[in-house]
Chains A and B, each alone.
Chain A
Amino acid sequence: MNEVVSAIRLVPLEHYVMLSFALFSIGLAGVLFRRNTIIILMCLELMFNSVNLLLTAFSAHHSDPGGQVFVFFIMLVAAAEVTVGLAILVMMKRNVDSVDIDQLNRLRW
Chain B
Amino acid sequence: MSALILTSVLGVLLLYLGVFGQKRLLAPVAVLGLLGAIGVSATGWWMDVPLFAHMVRFDNAAAAFNMAMTGLTILLFLFGVDYYARMERDVAEHYALMVFSLTGAFLLTSYTNLLVLFLGIEVLSIPLYILAGGKKSSYRSGEASFKYFLLGSFATALFLMGIALVYGVTASFDLGRIQEVAMAQGAAPTPLFLLGLFFIAIGLSFKVAAVPFHFWSPDVYEGAPTLVTAFMATVVKMAAFAGFLRLVQFTALPPTLATALLVMTVLTLFIGNIVALRQTNFKRLMAYSSVAHTGFLLLVVLGNTAASTSTLFYYTFTYGLATVGLFVVMTLVKRAANGSEEVRSFRGLYQARPWLAITALLLLLSLAGIPLTAGFVAKYQVFLLALQAGFLKTTVLAVAMALVGIAYYIVVVREAFTADEQPLEVQVTPLNGLVVLLCGIAVVALGVWPIQLP
Interface residues of chain B: helix, strand, loop or mixed (majority): helix
Known: A70-B173, A85-B129, A85-B149. 7 other contacts (CB 8 A): A13-B168, A48-B156, A58-B164, A70-B167, A95-B139, A107-B140, A107-B147
Chain B residues within an 8 Å CB radius of A106: 139-140, 143
Enumerate B110-138 residues with CB–CB distance to A below 8 Å. Answer: 115, 118-119, 122, 126, 129-130, 133, 136
A-B contact pairs, 20 of them (CB 8 A): A31-B154, A37-B146, A48-B156, A48-B157, A50-B161, A54-B168, A55-B164, A58-B167, A64-B171, A73-B119, A77-B156, A80-B122, A84-B126, A85-B149, A85-B153, A92-B142, A92-B143, A95-B142, A106-B139, A107-B222
Residues of B within 8 A of A (CB): 115, 118-119, 122, 126, 129-130, 133, 136, 139-140, 142-147, 149-150, 153-154, 156-157, 160-161, 163-165, 167-168, 171-173, 192, 218-220, 222-223, 284
A88→B142 contact, CB < 8 A: yes
CA distance A89 to B146 in the complex (A): 7
**A40 with B150, Cβ < 8 A, contacts A80-B122, A84-B129 known:** yes
A107→B219 contact, CB < 8 A: yes
Fill in one digit per residue for A72-88: 1 if any B CB lies within 8 Å of its CB, else 0. Answer: 01100100110011011
CA distance A62 to B115 in the complex (A): 17
A88→B173 contact, CB < 8 A: no
Identify B122's interface contact among A20, A40, A77, CB under 8 A.
Answer: A77
A81→B133 contact, CB < 8 A: no
**A91 with B136, Cβ < 8 A, contacts A70-B163, A73-B119, A77-B118 known:** yes
Chain A residues within an 8 Å CB radius of B173: 66, 70
CA distance A91 to B160 in the complex (A): 28
A81→B139 contact, CB < 8 A: no
Residues of A within 8 A of B (CB): 13, 17, 20, 24, 27-28, 31, 37, 40-41, 44, 47-48, 50-51, 54-55, 58-59, 62, 64, 66-67, 69-70, 73-74, 77, 80-81, 84-85, 87-89, 91-92, 95-96, 101, 104, 106-109
Identify B119's interface contact among A67, A77, A92, CB under 8 A.
Answer: A77
CA distance A64 to B139 in the complex (A): 47
B157→A27 contact, CB < 8 A: yes
CA distance A1 to B431 in the complex (A): 70
B160→A48 contact, CB < 8 A: yes
A96→B139 contact, CB < 8 A: yes
Chain A residues within an 8 Å CB radius of B150: 37, 40-41, 85, 101
A92→B146 contact, CB < 8 A: yes
Chain B residues within an 8 Å CB radius of A51: 157, 160-161, 163-164
Chain B residues within an 8 Å CB radius of A81: 122, 126, 149, 153, 156
CA distance A37 to B163 in the complex (A): 26
B115→A70 contact, CB < 8 A: yes
B223→A107 contact, CB < 8 A: yes
**A74 with B160, Cβ < 8 A, contacts A92-B146, A106-B140 known:** yes
Chain A residues within an 8 Å CB radius of B164: 20, 51, 54-55, 58
CA distance A69 to B171 in the complex (A): 13
CA distance A102 to B156 in the complex (A): 22
Most chain A Cβ neighbours within 10 Å, of B147, B168, B171, B173: B168
Chain A residues within an 8 Å CB radius of B153: 41, 44, 81, 85
**A88 with B168, Cβ < 8 A, contacts A27-B157, A73-B115, A107-B222 known:** no
